[in-house]
Structure 1
Amino acid sequence: MREFDYRRASDVPGALALLGTEPEARYLGGGTNLVDLMKSGVERPALLVDVRELPLERIEVADDGGLRIGATVTNSDLAAHPEVRRRYPALTQAVLAGASGQLRNMATVGGNLLQRTRCAYFADVSKACNRRVPGSGCPAVTGEHRNHAILGASTHCVAVHPSDMGVALAAFDAVVHYATADGPGAVPLAEFYLPVGDTPHRETALPPGALITGVTLPPAPVAAASRYRKVRERASYAFAIGSVAAALDVRDGVVHDVRLAFGAVASRPWRAQAAERALIGGPATAEAFGAAADAELAVAEPLPGNGYKVTLIRNLVVAVLTELAEESWQTEEATR
């Protein structure tokens, strides 16, 4: 590990100023991803600016009924917050599925959004990787890619984004807020992660030196009936090989509103907009759910070793939406 300096910031302007003193500085939150990458030599910062003590640790209900979530809120506090559990249960489920209690106690919301891919080629500095060394190649295309992307990839990178939390946030139109030396800014999560294209090393739309200060979730009544389902290769905590965040509003057997996002299938949390469009106004049946999933997955381009993900995601969509539809029907019956 490269020797590095360490500074602790007490406010946002101070954090921005500290980062500006060193071109190779990085912000440090919980460190659950960054420190591992430093140990392996993937990340080699000259300065760490600790932001854990910034006044960004609150979760608040906004005047419009949405939520404001500070960037230093821990994953444990996010999952346990009563308003998160009541208004966006899929978000709580996603966070709980993401890591052990020890890691959730350390990991922060801002850091979770910025965590980097767990692709083995990226993590091994002896291997080529366009994310780590632009122009060096993507050996996963012809090598080991069982857990890699089937949507939105390119010949330059087929790695997937590892966040569970991000999938739920994508389903509910989250907005990422940040601060820079020139002032604050915001970007919808749908635009926060850049397309892979031929520049996979450019991962987010954050300006240079920007510090994530929080996330807002707009009001979404449909989110109260939501679920996150994750499939992994072992029962203990592991990264997903496929996941779905879903919310469904069914009235008299017809889909009034629906939200769908997929995880572990692309370089970013994948909002399934084609599937949503196919479902709105139609019947809430397993057949319709499957057809909607097929509409979304029609653009999938699996590699020889990960074609199973197409079937996996389709089955997850049908299973989760069917469960939500049945629960909605039971609620309607109980209130009649």
Structure 2
Amino acid sequence: MRPLTYSRASAVADAVHAVTVDPESAYLAGGTTEIDLLRQDVLTPGRLVDINDLPLTGIEETRGALVIGALARMSDVAAAPAVRTRYPLLAQALEAGASAQLRHMATMGGNLLQRVRCGYFRDTESPCNKRRPGSGCGALTGVNRGHAVLGTSEHCIATHPSDAAVALTALDARVHTRTTAGHGAYHIDDFFLLPGDTPHREHPLEHGELITSIEIPDTPTARNSTYLKVRDRASYEFALVSVAATLQLEQGRISGVRLALGGVATKPWRARRAERLLLGAGADRRAFAEAAREELADAAPTPMNAFKVELAQRAVVRALESLA
């Protein structure tokens, strides 16, 4: 691990200014992933600005929304009565996302910004277009059982690792930020970028732009929701496939549905094609299966991860049946 400079900020404006004016600097919050990457020389900032003293830990119910501070700990958000009542899929995703020790440290903003879990990204001797643009993608012809089948490109097939981000995608969340120029906001769909020709760019954030809060609109369908995570082992493991789902029925037919997939795409994947097919349909296995097949129709698997296509379809059916 290389020597670096460390400082603490007590005001949002001071933190944003400190990082913005120094291209070699980075924020430090919970650090549950960042410290590992620093030790592995995957990330090499010259300066860390500790933001844990910033007043961004609140969980506030407002008219028509729930606002979660970017420094709120995952465990606190999962335990919040408003989250468990209004957005149970988010509480489930947070609790499935890490061990209890990590949830007590990890922040919501950091969770959204965590880097991919691709072994080639973390191995500085391997080619990786995310770590070193233009060097190639070792996963394309290497070990890629856990990699993406949706949203891939010839430059990157790494999956997005966050569970909470999948739930927030199904909930149409907005990510609020702060820059030296003022305040900004991104719809969750626009916050995560597909790799395309620029896999090193995972978010639209400028250098120094700080996440300040996550806003979740009041979503009546979310009260009947679930987060299903399929993984190789039952504890502290990343998803092979996950499904965030909400469902609302009227007289046996689907009047509201939201679906997002994790573990199968290069970003949290909103299954809008499946949602369109399900609206107005009967809440039965046949309709669920047809929608799931259509959503995965454009999958581009490798021989190692082709099983994810059927697994994702089955997971969608299972999640929706549990809600119906």
| TM-score normalised according to structure 1 size | 0.95
Report the equivalent of 1:121.
Answer: 120
Q: Where does residue 312 of structure 2 map in the other structure?
A: 313
Q: Which residue of 2 aligns with 1:86?
A: 85
Residues in 2 aligned to 1:116 and 1:167: alpha-carbon distance in whole angstroms: 15
Q: What SS is found at the alignment partner of 1:186?
A: strand
Q: Equivalent residue for 1:8?
A: 8
Give the corresponding residue for 2:249. 250
SS at match of 1:35: helix
1:193 aligns with 2:192: yes
SS of the counterpart of 1:130? coil
Q: 1:239 and 2:238 equivalent?
A: yes
1:294 Cα offset (Å) = 0.8
Question: 23-32 vs 13-22, which deviates more?
Answer: 13-22
* Deviation, structure 1 residue 20: 3.0
Give identity over the alignment, percent. Answer: 53
Q: Following the alignment from structure 1 to structure 2, what is the Cα–Cα distance between the partners of residues 195 and 160?
A: 10
**Aligned position for 1:329:** none
Matched to 1:154, the amino acid is S
8 Å CA contact 1:167–1:263 kept in 2: the answer is yes
Give the drift of 1:21.
4.1
| Alignment of 1:35 onto 2:2 | no
Out of 87-96 and 189-198, give the one that drifted further: 189-198
Equivalent-residue separation in structure 2 for 1:248 and 1:20 (angstroms)? 42
Cα distance in 2 for residues equivalent to 1:62 and 1:267: 32
Match of 1:278 in 2: 277
In 1, Cα distance between the equivalents of 2:235 and 2:75? 18
Which residue type is aligned with residue 185 of structure 1? G
1:88-107 map, 5 Å: 88-107=87-106
Determine if the alignment matches structure 1 residue 56 to structure 2 residue 41.
Answer: no
Structure 2 letter corresponding to 1:47: R
Q: Aligned to 2:317, what secondary structure does the other structure show?
A: helix
Shift of 1:63: 1.1
| 2:183 counterpart of 1:184 | yes
Deviation for aligned residue 1:235: 2.1
Q: Aligned residue for 1:69?
A: 68
Post-superposition, which runs of at least 4 consecutive aligned residues in structure 1 deviate over 2 A?
Answer: none
Would the aligned equivalents of 1:244 and 1:262 in 2 still touch at CA under 8 Å? yes
Provide Cα deviations, 1:5-57, integer angstroms capped at 9, x if missing partner: 11111111010122134211110110001000001110011111111111010
CA distances 1:77-136 after superposition (whole Å, capped 9, x unpaired): 010000000000000000000001100000000000000001000000010000000000
Q: Give the residue type in structure 2 aligned to 1:287.
A: R
Alignment check: 8 A CA contact 1:246 1:320 kept: yes
Unpaired segments ≥5 residues, structure 1? 326-336
For residues 216-247 of structure 1, the C-alpha deviation after alignment (integer angstroms, 9 at most, x for no partner) is 00110000000001011112211111100000
Counterpart of 1:333 in structure 2 is none
For the 8 Å contact 2:17–2:208, the answer to whether it is kept is: no
Cα pair 1:19 1:209 within 8 Å, conserved:
yes
- Within the alignment, does 1:304 sit opposite 2:315 as a pair? no
- Structure 2 partner of 1:223: 222
RMSD over aligned CA atoms reads: 0.7
Aligned residue-pair number: 324
Contact in 1 for aligned 2:179/2:210 (Cα 8 Å):
yes
Match of 2:155 in 1: 156
- Give 1:139 deviation, angstroms: 1.4
Equivalent in the alignment of 1:331: none
Shift of 1:168: 0.1
Determine if the alignment matches structure 1 residue 133 to structure 2 residue 132. Answer: yes
AA matched with 1:113 = L
Q: Which residue of 2 aligns with 1:323?
A: 322
Letter matched to residue 140 of structure 1: A
Q: Is the 8 A contact 1:22 1:46 kept in 2?
A: no
Aligned to 1:17: 17
SS of residue matched to 1:155:
coil
Measured in 1, the distance between the counterparts of 2:261 and 2:234 equals: 20
Give the Cα–Cα distance (whole angstroms) in 1 for the partners of residues 22 and 191 of structure 2.
Answer: 25
Q: Alpha-carbon deviation of 1:173?
A: 0.2
Cα distance in 1 between the residues matched to 2:233 and 2:320:
24
In structure 2, distance between residues paired with 1:117 and 1:196: 12
Are the equivalent residues in 2 in contact too, given 1:71–1:214 (CA < 8 A)?
yes
* Aligned-partner SS, 1:209: coil
Moved more, 215-224 or 16-25: 16-25
Give the letter for the 1:85 counterpart. R
